[in-house]
Structure 1
Amino acid sequence: MSVEKMIEKIINVLSDEAMWVGLFLVFLKVILITVAAVVLVKVLRILIRKTFSVRIKGPLLYNERRQQTLSKLLSNVVAYVVYFIAIVSILAAFTIDITGLIAGAGVLGLAVGFGAQNLVRDVITGFFIIFEDQFSVGDYVRIGAAEGTVEEIGLRTTKVKAWTGELFIFPNGNIMDVVNFSIHNSIAVVDVNISYESDIKRVEVLIMEFLENLQDRYEQIIKPAELLGVQTLKTTEIVMRITAETLPMQHFAIAREMRRDLKDFLDQRGVEIPYPRMVMIQRSPEDAMMPKNARNE
């Protein structure tokens, strides 16, 4: 084929109005499908958030932790489904055989499933974590050596943020032992050190007086605090223990507040909190000159 014929053929192709109209329609379809998919995902996510927020605020009792977790998971699933449909529609706009592609993708997915056993294990474990409500977004948990607040639970990974700012990302299949601190109420434990010179019975009466109005001052305490009594006898002090049941994960703050208020309360009533003391013995020059036997006598 001569160069002139090739150029003539190219010119004929480029001057074909039907081809340009077809390409314009294809690209228009692609743009419309993409925009529609993005808008649809945003609208569905807003609807999901609104639906779950209405259910949480409604008269029926729902688990807020579980609702938040399911809301995030459902939003992700909706996005995956919509984008998959959009990709298939775009391929159909380019007149690509979708049936064969889907069949091939199924075979490829099966092969990948055998090869990616860890990924399959992560997905299955993530499903059971959410289905069994082992922990939810916002819970304070300990997973292995990591401890912090659950930021996100996905079908493949779980993200935990420590109180110091570190973000731990765990494949769900590697999550073996979990300690969830947010399901049940917590117990604030306060140890009070009393000197051996103090009257224990009087101190117990004063502590009971302090605990009477404690629940009114702190709304996080859900049951009256208890004085368990003498916990240990140390070399320089007597340790008395107080416990108070609080809302989940509120025991640290309540214990700090109780120690401060109890210290002020006991100080005002003359109860001494023991502290280390140093005894110094000063010898005179005459004692230094005396024989050792005479000093002992």
Structure 2
Amino acid sequence: MVAFIEKISQNTVPWLASHGIKILVILLAAAGIAGLAFGFGGQYLIRDIISGLFIVMENQYRVGDVVCFDGTCGLIEDISLRMTTLRDLDGVVHHVPHGETKPLKQWDVTGELRKRIKTAFDKEGIEIPFPQRVIHQAKS
């Protein structure tokens, strides 16, 4: 394949130069077009990463929160810089890019409920012992 490209370029470059076409102009134009293509293609990736950076820094939601993104509700399993991983009630995993998380409803039910129970138990002096980890077996 490399030999084929080399042979074509050896024949094409002198032909273009003999007809007054400047190779540098063509290469610069191709580089500009490639730069535009990468720019338009990468804008969503950069948008997701910048949004994810703000979500992580501002601690807008955490793993374990229940949220709704555009009608998809579920428990947050993972938050990365680019996307949030969400598991709905049917067990289906959804990967939501951070650039698409604008309409957000959030319920931090489990965390708030645990805090209220802990405060009430501490107020009443109730202690919850650790679970028993040793299994006793009766001799038969």
TM-score, normalised relative to structure 2: 0.50
Looking at both structures, which has the greater relative contact order when contacts are Cα pairs under 8 Å and sequence separation is at least 6?
2
Larger radius of gyration: 1
TM-score, normalised relative to structure 1: 0.25
